[in-house]
Homo-oligomer: A and B are copies of this chain.
């Protein structure tokens, strides 16, 4: 089972030093690739390491060097495919720069988010990227503002935290104008809860595009949801379908998951998409192009969003005093068959 009751890897640098017949300093030098070690010595050390199966205790190293080379990414819900492409972008630049990226699911809960920020405070991670709702971020804005983190997708430009995202107001306007261009005048909005900044911005974009066209929306067409589940979208569609006398002919959902649920709900209510009701979504997640009819939606540059966020963070890590800008990336309307 085991040596004589010590688990195999209780070997420390001094054990290695001893069997190699050198000092711990020398072992440390070869461990870190320092050049000032004579070849024979280095080889002795390497041999001792190999023979013992020694592994650096990163905890000790991190304590000494005061860095962990770990980055955290916090998402409100990693069940939402929207985040995966972003996270992959973050991961790839982190990796290229010698960092590990670890993902945390906060469930959009301030308490949980806070606990992950504690990993930062406790020096167990060097920095973080937060995709949580702006409201959640705000909950710890003051106390966390000194911490090395950046906001992605959701951000408060006034918070003094570096961020990257898109112009949601404009993007929502583009979606609505596309619907307008197809002759729709009765356009519903299916939005997420008020915790999300993007929700407020897209709602404004929707409203502004409508009023610019001289159209006034029926309040009954404006539905606020507290989740982005498919099921929530489905339920919203039923609500809309029941508006007998004044049913909208189009709906703009602020998330593809919602939009997909809406299409399903419409189908359940016997309404055909896009003939009777057109639907446009937001994000352009992978499955959006797979469903029937393929979803017209506003594509976010997900991978670039992630890469940019990671680069901003890295920059901030290199120079804590650097002015890190907020950046907005371009979106793009993907016209498919649902609208």
A residues apposed to B, CB below 8 Å: 1, 7-9, 55-63, 68, 70, 72, 78-79, 81, 84-85, 87-88, 91, 100, 102-105, 115-116, 119, 121-124, 146, 229-230, 234, 260-261, 263-264, 267, 286-287, 289-292, 320-321
Contacts and interface: CB of A to CB of B under 8 A. Distances in A.
B286 A264 contact: no
Contacts of A102: 72, 102-104
Contact of A123 (B1, B58, B260): B58
20 contacts: A7-B320, A57-B122, A58-B122, A59-B68, A59-B122, A60-B63, A62-B124, A78-B87, A79-B84, A81-B81, A100-B119, A102-B102, A102-B103, A103-B104, A103-B105, A230-B290, A287-B287, A290-B291, A291-B292, A292-B292
A122 B287 contact: no
Contacts of A72: 102
B88 A84 contact: no
Contacts of A57: 63, 122-123
A148 to B, nearest CB: 10
Contacts of A68: 59, 124
Contacts of A124: 58-59, 62, 68, 70
B260 A59 contact: no
A27 to B, nearest CB: 16
B91 A84 contact: no
Given A121-B9, A291-B292, A103 B100 contact: no
A53 to B, nearest CB: 9
